[in-house]
Structure 1
């Protein structure tokens, strides 16, 4: 598939109609035209001349994919897919479709390139010219010959309404009922009954309405495009002591790059030399710079502020945090929410229904009640204009795109509008404990030794093969005691999910894990007593045993995150019915953490599959969100109505989740929920305004008070209000802080 940027789309309904016409072309199957992003994807074999003609019929123009998004778009095509089974109405997105073709000949597009606000000004010029003529006509009305005034009104109508008339006429001949069809019939009808002045006003106000509609969506798109321009273009690669400028897509893992003060870091990497403060706001939304020195990890897209750094690239750009974010933000912009899908489907039936109502208004009173034909024909034409679905179609897209863009600016990555809607409607939230509510950096605080000779050596050999945070804590303790594996490795080593590790060392089987790992043993009273004492202290147990006895116990503690308590309190303040902590830890440790942070409920001793069952049970009670960061959280994230992952968590958790908090803490979660609820309120308000104003205008037909100018003002007023209210999401206001949020 080949991707292009389309400029000058006048409305969501028009975009749907154009998409359908393009799909009817040879090789047009599967073509998509997204109004939110203005992106067109078509088969490479399709006739682009035919596509341009279709777009031109609506005043839209075609250009290539924006050069400044080329890097991340190309990277996007190589990323793994995110197939969310609960993404309503969207199915599975094939990321192969996102590969941009940049090797095109710019001559192919000629003058089709539309820069800056050109298309907006192109649409406004005839409206302004028509408005001037209309004012001239008003001034001459009663002072000049009537034919002169009528000619001026007709000229103004032609200038402002010509494109609408031609589009509407074509649609009418094809029996396609769109807003252009409604306007065309209304214009012809008004002129036919001699309402020159009001016909001109209808044409001018409809043109202004379309311009304002496009302007609002363009504002939302520009905000999104500003995010997509975050990607650096080049890097200073070190080769044999020389500095070489290379495109970031040419970087590979292991390359050394020089980052000067003021430069963006091209991809994820590790500092090998130098000291500096680095601003990660573009990735995490955190405004305070972080101190970085040799050994520290840096993220692509971050800004090096004051020192010279040498960085070893650990991920090619296409796999970096920035490329992942840009790709997912772009994809999110192009998904439709259930509300949008419903509105679009509703609009397809709404427009023909309005035409039927208009015919009834025109014919029923004169035929059945002896009404005046001229009066009710006029009323029927007014109903046609009231029926224009512009404001209704626009009720959701501007709010959704604005919300996603604002979330991204704060380091909250929403993978689609459907997930933004779901976030605003959550009723229950489940949290993983380790690494989510706690720091995920446990340390050993208590040790019980029953076999001094074997305990620390066996523990060191087993845990050296694990990346689990508890394994690292045990390894740190054995290292502190002077025990190292000295190159030794177990003959075999396997992980038992939800239990621990099992290893063959010197021909004997040893186990290290929770109480289940030693369930085969008949423990002495002293060991049982020690286990209960460590559990009572709220410590996590790591038991080392063989086939016949327990060698020792490690009591491990994980520090609670500073913001956890305030985040949970803030979430309860948002009227979430219940918060639940899910953990594989034992009851006493889990309860100790839960009591300190204030969660409503605890489910402990859970295996990964038990977490999934717990999420499904919660989902039966209402919409449930799951927040986690580890490999064992991925199934639960997928099972929840909405999966939320920590940005510094595992790749599998981030891939499975629907929303990613790019910070290494939960502080932004309440902010994200408040913003999502605000988006939801705005969409509901917009739908209410769009339908409410039209209903009021339609009710005016009963006493015969509806006029053409009231009809068009009600439609334009609804569109203006819907647009402005949607754009209020860009107005930052001071949010209540939650520690780091």
Structure 2
């Protein structure tokens, strides 16, 4: 973190307009250099010097409370105990009393007017305070429009309507704050996952300390039924760990010495000793929370459109309201009080609340819901793009297959026996990082093949490797590697082809003059891959493609087995990248699914890069737009379905918010638009938009 930059959590921030105003007030503090407010995550980053008291003073207009980032927030005040909600209830009592007086004493009785005036003052005190300040600065937000409308109603003698408008506005504000809080619940749930304290052993001393004080290398003691407070590596004991909170997998995973474990996961039956490997702020759950909060702050394309629209829309409504109030009386001699009243109603109905909130609530809810299910979507833009996908491309190894190839055949084609072939192959491949190399090394060890010393190792990109053993240079790699230097005998070519048709990858071992033997390796296809491809086709994904560096025959065998639309084999990393670019050119929106380590360029080139196994690899979390935290594709159809539902809901929200405004404004023509009907239209639209967005919480896998 940069020097002099502090992050705080907020409580009580009620609307996007208030957020913009709060940010502006903080910028006005002389010692503050820069400020960034994240409305979805209720966080603020302040660069420069500002005390919590100064920040709370800047947010006093909305009753905003400020806390240091690492501090767990107090439980918010219950809905009915909030000062503004109590004021609204008292206002309602005076409105009821006002209507009683209205029917007994008459509309213009001082008692009636007095009761409605009290209702307006008590219920609208906070509203007027902000609205009048804004009016003085010529800032036209929702509260300014409301203040003008209520004062105008009082001036033309519509005291009852002014009081009802104040009360309904207070109710809509309270319900909106409650609904947004519900949408943010997903983040709060994530923050509560990991315990605050951990039991650690340092030397011979065992103590329970705050997670902030735990150091890397401390030994954490975990009893059965306890949650892990930190990420680490098991050094003693074995147990089943429920990782659902991080990866979304419902089946517990067996862990033993050497395995990685994550903060926030639940130890089921055994006792474990875990060496802490990350500080509290670097744990996987801390990273997830950080990424989700960043994602919720990022503006999606539809939100950018709405924000731009609202910027011009509010002043336009002020002009329309003024014209409605002034033109008919001036030009056509109509009644002033009637048309000023209609102008005020236009002001009220013109509030852009429903429109402004239509996108962020849907995005905050969807991203939070996905995070709880083990899917990290790193921004509104990626959520929208995932909803528009036409093509999904998969890396083969480790994505559609287990990624742990095993040697299936060792065949001698010379005077060397199979153990010698394994010994020489294992010696060369022990220098290589390739998954196929580790399969050969493992097989050589299992077979007890004699280890021979190798030197001058050199990797031949995409084809194999070579090294010196004794006085001879040995090559190991794909048949292509040998075709360049030797002509492969026909019977060997036939054997290679037969093995490849069975979905196996064949490597030849030989010198510059002779092929000594062949080794066939097969990667096991994941059990769930075929059903996931089928689900994607059912969801309407037009094309599924597998990209692999394997030979054509192996690629086609696996592609056919899984029911993929297309298979591209024998691709080098740069070929995958070029192919993704071609797919984008032909089809528009393309996703690339890989393990995030060697697929980084292709993931970056796709419209949406989806990495698997995000819980274990930082690379996956960093490079991908979407990370499936479990090392499994199970959540891919759910992610696409959720994104599509979010897109549909955003479109519904924007269309509905605009249509309600147009319909209400058209009521001005026959003079049917009353003040209370205007606020009902505005409040109703806002609440329906929020409720529609909250449906995303119920999206099932």
Please give the TM-score of this superposition, normalised by the length of structure 2: 0.93
SS of aligned partner of 1:141:
helix
Q: CA deviation at 1:504?
A: 4.1
Tell me which residue corresponds to 2:510.
Answer: 545
Tell me which residue corresponds to 1:515.
Answer: 479
1:211 equivalent among 153, 174, 184: 174
Tell me which residue corresponds to 1:711.
Answer: 678
Q: CA deviation at 1:570?
A: 0.6
1:672 equivalent among 634, 639, 643: 639
Change (3 A) 1:480 1:409: same
Q: Deviations over 1:680-716 (max 9, x none)?
A: 2221111122112111101111111111011000000
Q: Check whether the contact 2:194–2:228 (CA below 8 A) recurs between aligned residues.
A: no
SS of aligned partner of 2:516:
strand
1:555 equivalent among 490, 510, 520: 520
Q: Deviations over 1:411-457 (max 9, x none)?
A: 11122222222221211111111110111111111223235265323
Task: Report the Cα distance in structure 2 between the residues aligned to 1:466 and 1:478, rounded to whole angstroms.
Answer: 15
Q: CA deviation at 1:591?
A: 0.8
Tell me which residue corresponds to 1:199.
Answer: 162
Change (3 A) 1:225 1:172: same
1:257 equivalent among 220, 232, 240: 220
Tell me which residue corresponds to 2:243.
Answer: 280
Q: CA deviation at 1:43?
A: 2.1
Equivalence map 1:20-99=2 (5 Å) = 20-46=24-50, 49-65=53-69, 67-68=71-72
Tell me which residue corresponds to 2:488.
Answer: 524
Task: Report the Cα distance in structure 1 between the residues aligned to 2:341 and 2:163, rounded to whole angstroms.
Answer: 15
Q: Deviations over 1:600-655 (max 9, x none)?
A: 11111111111111111111121111100152211101111111111166542332
Task: Report the Cα distance in structure 2 between the residues aligned to 1:329 and 1:234, rounded to whole angstroms.
Answer: 23
1:608 aligned onto 2:573: yes
SS of aligned partner of 2:105:
coil
1:727 equivalent among 689, 694, 701: 694
Q: Deviations over 1:67-99 (max 9, x none)?
A: 238xxxxxxxxxxxxxxxxxxxxxxxxxxxxxx
Task: Report the Cα distance in structure 2 between the residues aligned to 1:445 and 1:197, rounded to whole angstroms.
Answer: 86
> Does 703-712 or 515-524 show the bigger shift?
515-524
Change (3 A) 1:2 1:440: same
Change (3 A) 1:513 1:269: farther
1:577 aligned onto 2:542: yes
Tell me which residue corresponds to 1:395.
Answer: 358
SS of aligned partner of 2:249:
coil
1:499 equivalent among 442, 463, 479: 463
Q: CA deviation at 1:315?
A: 4.5
Change (3 A) 1:273 1:344: same
1:625 aligned onto 2:588: no
Tell me which residue corresponds to 1:335.
Answer: 298
Equivalence map 1:138-149=2 (5 Å) = 138-144=99-105, 146-149=109-112
Tell me which residue corresponds to 1:179.
Answer: 142
Q: CA deviation at 1:235?
A: 2.7
Tell me which residue corresponds to 1:232.
Answer: 195
1:459 equivalent among 425, 430, 445: 425
Change (3 A) 1:593 1:198: same
SS of aligned partner of 1:291:
strand
Q: Check whether the contact 1:63–1:114 (CA below 8 A) recurs between aligned residues.
A: no
Task: Report the Cα distance in structure 1 between the residues aligned to 2:274 and 2:247, rounded to whole angstroms.
Answer: 20
Task: Report the Cα distance in structure 2 between the residues aligned to 1:370 and 1:552, rounded to whole angstroms.
Answer: 104
Task: Report the Cα distance in structure 2 between the residues aligned to 1:253 and 1:169, rounded to whole angstroms.
Answer: 55
Task: Report the Cα distance in structure 2 between the residues aligned to 1:395 and 1:542, rounded to whole angstroms.
Answer: 57
Task: Report the Cα distance in structure 2 between the residues aligned to 1:412 and 1:683, rounded to whole angstroms.
Answer: 20
Tell me which residue corresponds to 2:533.
Answer: 568
Q: Check whether the contact 2:34–2:48 (CA below 8 A) recurs between aligned residues.
A: no
Q: CA deviation at 1:484?
A: 5.2
SS of aligned partner of 1:231:
coil
SS of aligned partner of 2:632:
coil
Task: Report the Cα distance in structure 2 between the residues aligned to 1:205 and 1:666, rounded to whole angstroms.
Answer: 48
Tell me which residue corresponds to 1:73.
Answer: none
> Does 528-537 or 499-508 show the bigger shift?
499-508
> Does 218-227 or 383-392 show the bigger shift?
218-227
Q: CA deviation at 1:384?
A: 0.5
Change (3 A) 1:482 1:600: same
SS of aligned partner of 1:462:
helix
Tell me which residue corresponds to 1:76.
Answer: none
Q: CA deviation at 1:30?
A: 2.5
Tell me which residue corresponds to 1:87.
Answer: none
Task: Report the Cα distance in structure 1 between the residues aligned to 2:596 and 2:459, rounded to whole angstroms.
Answer: 16
Q: CA deviation at 1:284?
A: 1.3
SS of aligned partner of 1:660:
strand
Equivalence map 1:243-254=2 (5 Å) = 243-251=206-214, 254=217
SS of aligned partner of 2:668:
coil
Task: Report the Cα distance in structure 2 between the residues aligned to 1:588 and 1:540, rounded to whole angstroms.
Answer: 9
SS of aligned partner of 2:611:
strand
Task: Report the Cα distance in structure 2 between the residues aligned to 1:364 and 1:190, rounded to whole angstroms.
Answer: 19
Task: Report the Cα distance in structure 2 between the residues aligned to 1:643 and 1:380, rounded to whole angstroms.
Answer: 51
1:306 aligned onto 2:310: no
Task: Report the Cα distance in structure 1 between the residues aligned to 2:372 and 2:689, rounded to whole angstroms.
Answer: 23
Tell me which residue corresponds to 1:97.
Answer: none
Task: Report the Cα distance in structure 2 between the residues aligned to 1:67 and 1:403, rounded to whole angstroms.
Answer: 26
> Does 445-454 or 619-628 show the bigger shift?
445-454
**Number of aligned positions between the proteins:** 689
Q: CA deviation at 1:119?
A: 9.6
1:656 equivalent among 623, 627, 643: 623
SS of aligned partner of 2:598:
helix
1:535 aligned onto 2:500: yes
SS of aligned partner of 1:142:
helix
Please give the TM-score of this superposition, normalised by the length of structure 1: 0.88
Q: CA deviation at 1:460?
A: 0.9
Q: Check whether the contact 1:379–1:706 (CA below 8 A) recurs between aligned residues.
A: yes
Tell me which residue corresponds to 1:80.
Answer: none
Q: CA deviation at 1:36?
A: 1.3
Q: CA deviation at 1:580?
A: 1.0
Change (3 A) 1:313 1:66: closer
Q: CA deviation at 1:513?
A: 2.7
Change (3 A) 1:309 1:147: same
Task: Report the Cα distance in structure 2 between the residues aligned to 1:329 and 1:151, rounded to whole angstroms.
Answer: 51
Q: CA deviation at 1:124?
A: 1.0
Equivalence map 1:310-459=2 (5 Å) = 310-451=273-414, 452=416, 455-459=421-425
> Does 200-209 or 160-169 show the bigger shift?
160-169
> Does 30-39 or 185-194 show the bigger shift?
30-39
SS of aligned partner of 1:306:
coil
